[in-house]
A and B are shown apart, each in its own frame.
Chain A
Amino acid sequence: MKIGEKVQWNELLTGGVIEDPGNSIDYKTGSWRIERPIWNKEACINCMFCWVYCPDSSIKVDKDGNMAGINYDFCKGCGICVKECPKPGALAMVLEADIEKKGMDVVFKETFGGK
């Protein structure tokens, strides 16, 4: 079934069956965010606590099962990953408004210092 188009009742499947598993990825919840977690690759120890606690499956994983960034399409900015991160300086919460105003590079430098 095509989402977003007008669908007639007789085009729906019996019992309201959805044929397309996991199609909620078409609905981006990232727009809910007020604060954003940012990730410092240099400090990360790949413990994956952020991944196990992320309610929105928004921690990207590479082929070795290591942390590969944050999916801002879906991250709602709850901050659990930052709170549960055991390594200081690996994850931090910053305001979306600050990123808009100053740019990502400046905010990153301000938060983690150095490079």
Chain B
Amino acid sequence: MAFLNDLAKRGERFAPGHRLCPGCGQSIIVRALLNITDYEIVIANATGCLEVCSGLFPYTSWCVPWIHSAFENAASTIAGAEAMYRVWKRKGRTDKDIKFVALASDGGTYDIGLQALSGAMERWHDFLYLCIDNQAYENTGVQRSSASPFGANTTTTPVGKVKRGKEQRRKDIMSIVEGHHIPYAAQASLHNWRDLMNKIKRALDTKGPTYINVLQPCCTGWGFPPDMTVEVARIAVETCAWPIYEVVDGKVKINYKPKKKLPVEEWFKMQRRFAHMLKPENKDLLGRAQELVDEHWEWLLKREAAGL
């Protein structure tokens, strides 16, 4: 594992002392981003768990330039910084190689920040948008977002006598992003650090807008012990509930195909938010959830086979 030893001795750019929950995977993803590359990085961070926990005034955990922007405009903020950098470069005020990254959670990407993200990608700014997807508004108390999967128990889609969790399916953000015909878009999971780091490196090296969607299991909101964060991400990929793939110039490449695809039940039973799905009276919900997962997975397999 000489690779990790080499990375480890270069030192950290994300300081400890942040107030993320014990076992939170957000900082694992951020550390992967800052450790894998030597580039100087400028970050715009939308409101969310990561922002409130790493930037509690007057403390900051960031050893790179970091801008806190509002919930909806991380992409616009970074677009502005990148545009200024381009002008500075043209006028000879800087000769540094700087990369620009927007960080946001699923709320700030799928819902509130979608128009800013779409605009920045359409204007073809040279930046990476890294979405840390924890599938709900975890920071404000686990409200549903359009990233929450079908059947999830959140505080705004509670399970009771009448309702049985979220009734809609998850938004397919990757297809939306792909619709901008950007050169590189990928979905990754934090358990596979090699894959995640490769994708981040590739995205940073690509000219033009790039997008990475990373699954971040939230022990507080999803309801599992904090030491299981990485394991929950692993099982999500093994059940194909979270396929890891990349879209390069419009062509799908699946980076990991499980040898034996586990039933989605295996992932559900690790988490409190899906506890109701496993009850015998909710068998129809479980069936529907499996259907949705299979549908998406088969669509990806077909696309890859057809070279689309």
Q: Are B59 and A26 in contact (CB under 8 A)?
A: yes
Identify the stretch in B21-29, B89-97, B286-294 within 8 Å (CB) of chain A at 4 or more residues.
B21-29
Residues on A lying within 8 angstroms of B by beta carbon are 1, 3, 7, 16, 18, 20-29, 32-33, 46-49, 51-59, 61-66, 71, 73-74, 76-80, 82-84, 93
Contacts A53-B230, A57-B27 given; does A76 touch B22 at CB 8 Å: yes
Contacts A24-B16, A29-B17, A55-B24 given; does A48 touch B193 at CB 8 Å: no
The A contact surface, by secondary structure, is: loop
The number of chain B residues touching the other chain, given as a range, is 35 or more
Q: Are A22 and B5 in contact (CB under 8 A)?
A: no
B61 beta carbon closer than 8 Å to chain A: yes
Q: Are B227 and A79 in contact (CB under 8 A)?
A: yes
User: CB within 8 Å of A: which of B13-42?
Assistant: 14-20, 22-28, 31-32
Which of chain A's residues has its CB closest to B5's CB?
Answer: A65
Contacts A24-B15, A24-B18, A76-B22 given; does A61 touch B9 at CB 8 Å: yes
Which of chain B's residues has its CB closest to A1's CB?
Answer: B58
B299 beta carbon closer than 8 Å to chain A: no
In angstroms, Cα B4 to Cα A66, docked, is 9
B262 beta carbon closer than 8 Å to chain A: no
Q: Are A25 and B16 in contact (CB under 8 A)?
A: yes
B157 beta carbon closer than 8 Å to chain A: no
In angstroms, Cα B17 to Cα A54, docked, is 13
Q: Are A22 and B18 in contact (CB under 8 A)?
A: no
Residues on B lying within 8 angstroms of A by beta carbon are 1, 4-9, 12, 14-20, 22-28, 31-32, 54-64, 193, 225-231
Q: Are B32 and A52 in contact (CB under 8 A)?
A: yes
Q: Are B59 and A27 in contact (CB under 8 A)?
A: yes
Out of A24, A26, A49, A77, which one reaches B22, CB within 8 Å?
A: A77
Which of chain B's residues has its CB closest to A7's CB?
Answer: B58
Out of A24, A51, A63, A79, which one reaches B61, CB within 8 Å?
A: A24
Q: Are A25 and B15 in contact (CB under 8 A)?
A: yes
Q: What distance in Å separates the Cβ of A33 from its nearest Cβ neighbour in chain B? A: 8
Known contacts A48-B5, A58-B16; 10 further A-B pairs (Cβ under 8 A): A7-B58, A21-B60, A26-B17, A46-B1, A49-B4, A55-B24, A56-B27, A65-B5, A77-B22, A79-B226
| Chain A hits for B32, CB < 8 A | 52
Q: What distance in Å separates the Cβ of A80 from its nearest Cβ neighbour in chain B? A: 5
Q: Are B60 and A23 in contact (CB under 8 A)?
A: yes
In angstroms, Cα B12 to Cα A52, docked, is 11
Q: Are B227 and A80 in contact (CB under 8 A)?
A: yes
Q: Are B17 and A74 in contact (CB under 8 A)?
A: yes
Identify the 8 closest CB pairs spanning chains A and B, nearest first. Answer: A79-B227, A65-B5, A24-B17, A22-B15, A65-B9, A78-B23, A74-B16, A76-B22
Out of A55, A64, A80, which one reaches B20, CB within 8 Å?
A: A55
In angstroms, Cα B55 to Cα A44, docked, is 34
Q: Are B27 and A55 in contact (CB under 8 A)?
A: yes
Q: Are B27 and A18 in contact (CB under 8 A)?
A: no
In angstroms, Cα B229 to Cα A80, docked, is 7
Q: Are B15 and A83 in contact (CB under 8 A)?
A: no
Contacts A22-B61, A24-B59 given; does A57 touch B5 at CB 8 Å: no
Q: Are B58 and A3 in contact (CB under 8 A)?
A: yes
Which of chain A's residues has its CB closest to B19's CB?
Answer: A29
Q: Are B28 and A53 in contact (CB under 8 A)?
A: yes
Which of chain B's residues has its CB closest to A27's CB?
Answer: B17
Contacts A53-B28, A74-B16 given; does A24 touch B60 at CB 8 Å: yes
